[in-house]
Amino acid sequence: MAIVTGVVIFALFITLLPLIQNATARLPFLVGVVITIAILVVLMTYVIMPAVTWLLRPWLSKKRLF
């Protein structure tokens, strides 16, 4: 699960961070950071990770590792 989370966070940062930064460019720095963190946390918690977990459920819940 840690590998999956890392890959998803990396993909989110690469794709969404520039878009969010452009949208919050005129705001004070800390306000932009808070908005960026809020958007990424909400997406990870309620949209992306449930879908990724559901898609990878056979691999994530394997009984035997080897």
Provide, rounded to the nearest whole percent, the portion of the chain with pLDDT above 70.
94
Summarised one tens digit per residue, pLDDT across range 21-34 is: 899 999 999 999 99
Residue 66 located in a structural domain = no
Whether the CB-CB separation of 17 and 33 falls below 8 Å is answered with no
Residue 63 located in a structural domain = no
Residue 32 located in a structural domain = yes
Is this structure's pTM higher than 0.85? no
Q: What is the pLDDT of residue 66?
A: 62
Residue 8 located in a structural domain = no
Whether the CB-CB separation of 32 and 24 falls below 8 Å is answered with yes
Which residues constitute the domain of residue 24? 17-54
Summarised one tens digit per residue, pLDDT across range 43-66 is: 999 999 999 989 988 888 877 666
Residue 42 located in a structural domain = yes
Number of domains in the chain: 1
Closest CA to 34 of 26, 24, 48, 43: 24
Residue 2 located in a structural domain = no
Q: What is the pLDDT of residue 28?
A: 94
For residues 20 and 18, what is the distance between their CA atoms, to the nearest angstrom? Answer: 6
Residue 3 located in a structural domain = no
Q: What is the pLDDT of residue 65?
A: 60
Residue 45 located in a structural domain = yes
